[in-house]
Structure 1
Amino acid sequence: MPMNWRLFPPITARDQTRIVNRRTYSGVPGTVVSVPEQDGQMLQANGWTYIAPSGPTSARPAGKTGLYAAHRGAQFFDESLGKLIVFDGQTWRDPLNGNAV
């Protein structure tokens, strides 16, 4: 299943706006953008920095295999919660306070 990617735009003033698959992406340094995975690959190749897969709580990785497996240390930007979370091998947790989310 395709996943969204969370990305930082480039720091430099140039190269911040890109058109990928007829969609325009702009970003201000220090902000983040969620984009479809296939667009994220092109943006990353053009200086954007990958953070983690992203989506609503219902899209959290759950399987043990595959590109987005839920393995110990896996990260996911939960757009429903508005935060990056980390899988400890059993539970998704807020890395700032260790609470289950």
Structure 2
Amino acid sequence: MAMNWRLFPPVAVREQTRTVNGRTYTGTPGSVVTVPEQDGQVLQANGWTFVAPSGPTSARPVGKTGLYAAHRGAQFFDEALGKLIVFDGQTWRDPLNGNAV
């Protein structure tokens, strides 16, 4: 299953705008950009920093195997909640307060 990726743009100004698969992405330090996974791979190879896979609550990883497995320490940016969450091995939690989300 393909997911969106959240990325931080690079500090180098010349790398802050990049066209990938016909889509142009622009970002500046301090911003976050959400892109399709296949575009994120190219952006990451060109100096952008991967933050976490992202999507709606229904897209949270649930399996124990695969690229987006729900393993202890897995991170996911839940777009419905508007926050990064972390899997503790049993439950997705808000890392700021430990509450289940």
Unaligned runs of 5+ in 2: none
Unaligned runs of 5+ in 1: none
| TM-score (normalizing by structure 2) | 0.98
Mapping 1:53-72, distance limit 5 Å: 53-72=53-72
Cα distance, 1:14 vs. partner?
1.8
Cα distance, 1:15 vs. partner?
1.1
Aligned to 2:38: 38
Aligned to 1:21: 21
| TM-score (normalizing by structure 1) | 0.98
Looking at structure 1, the residues matched to 49 and 59 of structure 2 have their Cα atoms a distance apart, in angstroms, of 22
Question: CA-to-partner distance for each residue in 1:31-64, whole Å, 9 max, x for gaps?
Answer: 1011100000000000000011000111000001
Aligned to 1:74: 74
Looking at structure 1, the residues matched to 15 and 95 of structure 2 have their Cα atoms a distance apart, in angstroms, of 32
Cα distance, 1:12 vs. partner?
2.0
Which runs of structure 1 show a deviation greater than 3 angstroms over 4 or more consecutive aligned residues?
A: none
Secondary structure at the aligned position of 2:13 is classed as coil
Looking at structure 2, the residues matched to 28 and 56 of structure 1 have their Cα atoms a distance apart, in angstroms, of 25
Question: CA-to-partner distance for each residue in 1:73-95, whole Å, 9 max, x for gaps?
Answer: 00000111110000001100000
Paired residues in the alignment total 101
Aligned to 1:98: 98
Cα distance, 1:66 vs. partner?
0.2
Looking at structure 1, the residues matched to 56 and 37 of structure 2 have their Cα atoms a distance apart, in angstroms, of 15
